[in-house]
Structure 1
Amino acid sequence: MTTVIEDRPRPADCTTMAEVRQGVDALDRQLVALLLERQGYMDAAARIKQDRETVRDNARVEDVVAKVKAEARRVGLSEEIAEPVWRTLIEQCIRYEFGVWDKLRA
């Protein structure tokens, strides 16, 4: 899968709220495409995992969050944004994976 980089103003170059909104909207479209790809990995995990109890792996959750926080620090993203966003994302992905796991074995 190839992610298309849309032409959008850089945040530092924005001088109007219209430019800010244009940039945010373009970025949101890219985030949706990336989340679709992440969802595909949840589909694969549901297919691969043989035991329903392995869908939730708390150690893996904490590992992912730790890696995200480290990357956030490295690139300058506020951990106050990164951590709760990823925890919510992970919980929703786990919920989704449970649903897929159940459907595959119904």
Structure 2
Amino acid sequence: MIEHTTNPDDCRSMQQVREGVDATDRALMELLTRRYGYMRAAARIKPSRDTVRDEARKAQVIENARADAAVRALPADDLAQIWDQLVESSIAYELAEWDATR
């Protein structure tokens, strides 16, 4: 999914680092496109608008991200905050899609 770039541990210049970051950002956008596609699918499948927001599921998704980040020795609390924003954005997107298709 990530185009050919220098492995982070093998970078010897800032140009290689920047190319790797840019390629990784493009790959993340591809994954976000897929994630938001699932939000469109959820909007299509859910029977009512009030089922779009699911606080228990939101908490589970954020905790999964936090735990995965911790295992990877990444800043778990920071990434949990990012995931909270991602989930809120996803909910807003799904609500807009639900409204647009009804």
Task: Provide the TM-score with structure 2 as the length reference.
Answer: 0.93
- Whole-Å Cα distance in 1 between the matches of residues 10 and 55 of structure 2? 41
Alignment gaps of 5+ in structure 2: none
Aligned to 1:23: 20
Does 2:92 align with 1:101?
no
Aligned-residue identity in percent: 46
Mapped partners of 1:80, 1:9: distance in 2: 28
Q: Deviations over 1:23-62 (max 9, x none)?
A: 0000011101100110110001000111111111111100
Gaps of 5+ in 1: none
What are the within-5 Å matches in structure 2 for residues 10-49 of structure 1? 10-49=7-46
Q: Are 1:54 and 2:51 counterparts?
A: yes
| Paired residue total | 102
Scaled by the length of structure 1, the TM-score of the pair is 0.90
Question: CA 1:81/1:14 → structure 2, altered by over 3 Å: closer, same or farther?
Answer: farther
Does the Cα contact within 8 Å between 2:66 and 2:77 map onto a contact in 1? no
Rounded to whole Å, the distance in 1 between the matches of 2:68 and 2:55 is 20
